[in-house]
Structure 1
Amino acid sequence: MMLGIVSLMLFNIADSYFVSQLGTHQLAALGFTFPVSFTVISLSIGLSIGTSATIARLIGSGNESGARQLTTDNLLMTTLLMVTIAVLATQMIDPLFRLLGAGDDLLPYIDQYMSVWFGGAVFYVLIMVSNSSLRASGDTRSPALLMGISSLLNFILDPIMIFGWGPVPALGIQGASIASCIAWGLTAVFALWNLYFNKGLLVLRIESVSVALQHWMMVMKIGFPAALSNMMTPIAAAIMTAIVATHGPEAVAAFGVGSRLESLSLLANLALSMTLPPFISQNFGRGYVDRVRGAYLAAVKFALLWQAAVYLLLLLFAGGIGSLFSDNDSVISLIGLWILIVPLGFGFQAVTFLTASSFNALHQPIRAMRISIFRLFCLYVPLGLLGNYLADLQGMFIGFVIANMCTAAMAYWWMQRHLKRL
């Protein structure tokens, strides 16, 4: 799953790199699409979490036929939902992006990109939901391979569609969107083929509309709160970025580098948060609560030890990391300050999102959402603001660490209490 996550990161990097060759306006237009595309991505993550937890529990309880029918119904309903969203959103591109602050000079490029992207998003979400169905059955290799294929296809098609090649005309920023859609479309076909022929998790029939809706609601009961939780993270990040901006552009640059380092530092535990839930859901469905507890405790121990090792590595190479991203002494110094303080809380941050994913796997999505709300808006943002007031950026960074420590302690206690009750 780590390889799969890296391939998704490369997918976005490739788009940004090739579009940047077209000019500043096109790159700025691509930047404006992020909030909208992230909303769709958050929805797909929520659907994936709900799918994985529901199917894995059915498989664990021995209801293989129910798992097949739910997988089929879920993919059908997901397709109908995304087609509806794509049709409606395509009609609202101009007013939506004007609301986000896009000017007349950027709207033509945004329209070219998003008018195609919304259609391709149907395939993207299908891939995510199909992959979560595969993980629910215990297969983590196929999803990683499919994400790798998607990233490779996009990397090959991007320069061809953007700049033209042979009979293919240069399509500019719209070419980047078309390349993504083709890559997603082909990967979605591979994913569905794998589900039907190799895993036997699809059936070519629908029992009834009422059963399909019932299955859909089972997935959305977990998926909707999970999607909302994902949407909260960029909101909190935007608030803190605005506060950091009061310290000058150097601070914003260093904070941006820190955000990228955070994603890389947590990579292993992010992958673990995708593979732990199917294991928990299957054993929960079978009634093996001791195995659930054992898996959760092992994940917590790994998270703390792994992130401690990552912290030591970051400290060791702190000077080199700063100079790698900037030649400005102030920026390098602030990156060093970030590395010294913020990664101390990464182990606790990992415990927090592993606990939230475990609650989702145990069909307790509201508890998982409460953990996210508590961390971001009761501790992370308030303590960051307080720390900034008391001791500027250093205080803010310390506030982040304290927030992660307190949330992890609360989440761990809450999970232990819930498992004891089970």
Structure 2
Amino acid sequence: MTQAAKKRADRDLTKGSLPKHIVRLAGPMALGILAIMTMNIVDTYFVGQLGTDQLAAMSFTFPVVFFLSSLTLGMGVGVTSVVSRAVGRKDHPKARRVTTDALALATIVVAVISVAGYLTIEPIFTMLGAAPKLMPLITEYMSIWYFGAAFLVVPMIGNAAIRSTGDTRTPALIMLGVAGLNMLLDPLFIFGVGDWEGWGIGGAATASVVSRGVALVAAFWILRRREDLISFEMPDMTEVLQSWREVMRVGAPAGATRSVVPLTNAFITALIAGFGTEAVAGYGAATRVEAFALVLSNGLTASLGPLVGQNWGAHQKDRVYKAIIYTCTAVAAVSVAIWGLLYGFAEPIGDLFTDSDEAIAVFVLFVAIVPLGHALQGTFRAMSNAWNAIDRPFPAAALSLLRTVGLIAPFAWLGAEFFGISGMFWGIMLANATAGLVAIVAAKPVIESTDHE
């Protein structure tokens, strides 16, 4: 067997050891997630060196950036679902058609949103509460960001198509390259070099656009030259519209439910603010640490997209069930181990973020309680990804809304009202655990009620 043939065989997720596939897929997934998180932290760090106004201006851009990112991630979920099932059926023409059409749809959507966003920068950010003195800085950043938004969106869709083939390593390498390039360009474009003073906050946006542009070129090259998943033939509009319907059937609910997350986070932050500034500081540090603690778990659950999709497309329901069980078991083991590390080293980790005893106490309380629910929270994510992969987006969306709006918000509020800040953290933990339990109960009925294509 040639090396190329061996690689193709390794990426055929309908055969071979499921645990081996899960490990092979999850590692790069986690690295890709880590790369994106690092990129955001680096941007924030360097812009913070410019001054408080620049950092505040960039902070105001986060909700808008998160909204478009959520929409893109939703479309990526849709692409993974449709393309992976086509790959599982060995229907390469379908996979190529959907990938090509999804990239075209993403380009159209981002163009419309970018133009509308550019024309409404001032009213949108005024509505979000930005002070007039920050508006020039926000406009400088967002004008560049909107101009290069396609460089953010299109590579994410392309990487989703690559993952659908069973290759999560290449997208991870692309994102690691983007993060590394952005880390090099940020100080250069923001602060300049020699007699050139740089572009300030606009330099941060430019560095992101240039870095993502490299990802765009890399993703297109791989999709066209290696995977043959991009077609330049004149399409039949009936086929194009069918592709768009299939992608958005999964992508629209996935993107919409992701957009609710910042609203829930804002509500929780408002609750924490009632306990004082030190509590907010401790909570903010704890949530940042939690995001890193969830990287491996999220990589494991994300691997279910291509794994379940390919096996579902190949009509191998038994492998779908086993993949879900193996993944949830691995997530539980990882979650327990990480909780133990966080609990054991809570105070030293908290000391890295603040020297306030009160803030550290809140940090320690959070990492002792909330991560107890990570194992079942991982089950919730696993089932959401599995349901999307088999073209059942609405149970996944309903579960996501149940967790954020129906469980986390009221449980946290009730806990805070009756038991203070510790009660609030117990409420968040119980909400995540309950969502996981509901997912377990609903898992088999949802899968059994779904017909193969």
TM-score (norm 1): 0.98
Q: 1:289-341 CA distances to partner (integer Å, 9 max, x unpaired)? A: 00000000111111111101111111111121121211111111111111221
Of residues 281, 286, 289 in structure 1, which corresponds to 2:309? 281
Q: Which moved more, 1:320-329 or 1:93-102?
A: 320-329
Determine the structure 1 residue equivalent to 2:14.
Answer: none
Is structure 2 residue 132 aligned with structure 1 residue 96?
A: no
1:209-224 alignment runs, 5 A limit: 209-224=237-252
Report the secondary structure of 1:43's partner residue.
helix
Whether the aligned pair in 1 keeps the contact of 2:387 and 2:447 (CA below 8 Å) is no
Distance 2:81 2:195 in 1: 47
Partner AA of 2:72 in structure 1: S
Pairwise CA distance, 1:274: 2.1
Report the secondary structure of 1:202's partner residue.
coil
Is structure 2 residue 288 aligned with structure 1 residue 260?
A: yes
Distance 1:386 1:171 in 2: 47
Determine the structure 2 residue equivalent to 1:87.
Answer: 115
Report the secondary structure of 2:133's partner residue.
coil
4+ residue runs of structure 1 moved beyond 6 angstroms? none
Determine the structure 1 residue equivalent to 2:276.
Answer: 248
Pairwise CA distance, 1:273: 2.4
Distance 1:217 1:400 in 2: 36
Pairwise CA distance, 1:357: 0.9
Residue 420 to residue 69, structure 1, CA distance change in 2 (3 Å): closer
Determine the structure 2 residue equivalent to 1:359.
Answer: 387
Residue 19 to residue 288, structure 1, CA distance change in 2 (3 Å): same
Determine the structure 2 residue equivalent to 1:369.
Answer: 397
Determine the structure 2 residue equivalent to 1:227.
Answer: 255
Distance 2:449 2:122 in 1: 52
Segments of structure 2 that go 5 or more residues without pairing to the other structure are 1-28
Determine the structure 2 residue equivalent to 1:76.
Answer: 104
Is structure 2 residue 338 aligned with structure 1 residue 310?
A: yes
Distance 1:190 1:129 in 2: 13
Pairwise CA distance, 1:417: 2.1
Determine the structure 2 residue equivalent to 1:125.
Answer: 153
Q: 1:107-154 CA distances to partner (integer Å, 9 max, x unpaired)? A: 000000000101211111111000000000001011001101111111
Q: 1:159-208 CA distances to partner (integer Å, 9 max, x unpaired)? A: 11111235865211111111111111121011100111111111112322
Distance 1:167 1:85 in 2: 37
Of residues 213, 217, 220 in structure 2, which corresponds to 1:192? 220
**Percent identical:** 37
Determine the structure 1 residue equivalent to 2:89.
Answer: 61
Q: 1:48-81 CA distances to partner (integer Å, 9 max, x unpaired)? A: 1000000001111121111111111111121121
Whether the aligned pair in 1 keeps the contact of 2:80 and 2:306 (CA below 8 Å) is yes
Partner AA of 1:131 in structure 2: N
Segments of structure 1 that go 5 or more residues without pairing to the other structure are none
Pairwise CA distance, 1:342: 1.1
Aligned pair count reads: 422
Distance 2:82 2:150 in 1: 22
1:146-225 alignment runs, 5 A limit: 146-165=174-193, 170-225=198-253
Distance 2:197 2:418 in 1: 57
Q: Which moved more, 1:25-34 or 1:195-204?
A: 195-204
Report the secondary structure of 1:282's partner residue.
helix
Report the secondary structure of 1:200's partner residue.
coil
Pairwise CA distance, 1:230: 0.8
Partner AA of 2:190 in structure 1: I
Whether the aligned pair in 2 keeps the contact of 1:69 and 1:206 (CA below 8 Å) is no
Partner AA of 2:172 in structure 1: A
Distance 1:393 1:188 in 2: 45
Distance 2:196 2:119 in 1: 28
Distance 2:190 2:361 in 1: 39
Pairwise CA distance, 1:421: 4.3
Determine the structure 2 residue equivalent to 1:139.
Answer: 167
Report the secondary structure of 1:105's partner residue.
helix
Q: Which moved more, 1:335-344 or 1:239-248?
A: 335-344
1:12-91 alignment runs, 5 A limit: 12-91=40-119
Partner AA of 2:332 in structure 1: L
Distance 1:367 1:41 in 2: 22
Determine the structure 2 residue equivalent to 1:394.
Answer: 422
Task: Compute the RMSD of aligned alpha carbons.
Answer: 1.3
Of residues 367, 391, 415 in structure 2, which corresponds to 1:339? 367
Partner AA of 1:105 in structure 2: K
Q: Which moved more, 1:128-137 or 1:373-382?
A: 373-382
Q: 1:13-71 CA distances to partner (integer Å, 9 max, x unpaired)? A: 11111111111111110000000000011011001100000000111112111111111
Report the secondary structure of 1:380's partner residue.
helix
Determine the structure 1 residue equivalent to 2:349.
Answer: 321
Distance 1:389 1:42 in 2: 32
Q: Which moved more, 1:127-136 or 1:405-414?
A: 405-414
